[in-house]
Amino acid sequence: MDVYAPSATAASDFFYAPDELEVLLRHELVGRRDLAGLAVKTRAVVAKRLVCTALGYDAPMSFKRVNPRLPHPAVDVYAQQSNNLQIWNEEVDAQRRYVVLILDESEILDVRVIAGADLAQFDRTGKLTSKFQASRVGGSTGSKLVSAFDTSHFIERLAPSTQAWPGSPVAQPEPGQVLTVEEVYRRLVPMVGNVYVDPGIVQERNRGTVIHREACERLGTDGFADNGQFPDILSQLVEVKLQLARTVDLGLELPSSDIPLASANGVLDVRDVRYAIFYAARDGAKFTLESLVVVTGADFFEEYRQFGGLTSNSKLQLRLPSSWFEC
Q: Are 153 and 168 in contact (CB under 8 A)?
A: no
Segment 71-127, tens digit of pLDDT: 999 999 999 998 889 888 787 887 789 999 999 988 999 999 998 878 887 876 666
Q: Is 156 helix (H, G, I), strand (E, B) or coil?
A: helix
Q: Is 101 helix (H, G, I), strand (E, B) or coil?
A: strand
Task: Indicate the DSSP class of residue 172.
Answer: P
Q: Is the pLDDT of residue 40 over 80?
A: yes
Report domain extents, the chain.
18-123, 131-314
Confidence tier at 10 by pLDDT (50, 70, 90): low
- Residue whose C-alpha is closest to residue 64's, from 52, 81, 79: 52
How would you classify residue 267: left for phi > 0, otherwise alpha for psi between -120 and 50, otherwise beta? Answer: alpha
> What is the reported pLDDT for 310?
46
Longest CA span, the chain: 73
Q: For the chain, what is the total number of helices (H) and then of strands (E)?
A: 7, 13
Q: Is 194 helix (H, G, I), strand (E, B) or coil?
A: coil
Burial class (CB in 10 A: 0-12, 13-18, 19+), 296: buried
Confidence tier at 240 by pLDDT (50, 70, 90): very high
Confidence tier at 255 by pLDDT (50, 70, 90): very high
Collect all residues with Cβ–Cβ distance below 8 Å to 292 and sequence separation of at least 6: 143, 144, 185, 188, 189, 191, 192, 276, 277, 278, 279
Query: Global pTM?
Result: 0.63
